[in-house]
Amino acid sequence: MESEKEKMGTGRLYDANYDTELIAERQACKELCYTLNHLPPSQIAEREAIIRRLFCKTKERFLLEQPFYCDYGFYTAGHPLDVEQRNRGLEYARPIRVGNNVWIGAQVCVLPGVTIGDNTVIGAGSVINRDIPANVIAAGNPCRVIREITEEDKTKYLL
């Protein structure tokens, strides 16, 4: 019987929620991410070593010319439009709410006060400056709904 990790490696659907091997690997990755995120930028060799451990098995499969970051930004603070208020260092804060089962692509910027609904997919590079409803695919700058997620999407990637 094929493991969930083997299914994952071939691009097919797999269950990562209850597979002990994948859970253990994810926990190890979380520990590495924590370490990476707390290293000073000047520790280039150490950062590269962790990135290689996170993203590749061999050096041949990964060329690191520049540091690799997903660089998500969740910004709950904003600044007034009035120059005098800004110059005084004033800002405001609005909570960000992200629903269950949301997928957020790399380099997404989420601005203050935004709510992202359940089961939504946000495309890489999006700037989210308004609420995004549940069960949609949204992307862009500014982020906009592209379409609803449909029943057909459940079988799109099955082989």
Rounded Cα distance, 75 and 87, in Å: 19
Catalytic residue check, 79: yes
Judge if the upstream peptide bond of residue 142 is cis by omega within 30 degrees of 0. yes
The closest of 123, 121, 149, 119 to 134, measured between CA atoms, is 119
All residues at 6 or more sequence positions from 129 whose CB lies less than 8 Å from its CB, including other chains? 111, 114, 142, 143
Q: What is the CA radius of gyration of the chain?
A: 19
Rounded Cα distance, 110 and 1, in Å: 42
* Residue 109, strand partner residues: 73, 127
* Set 12, 79, 88, 144: catalytic member: 79
So which residues are the catalytic ones?
A: 79
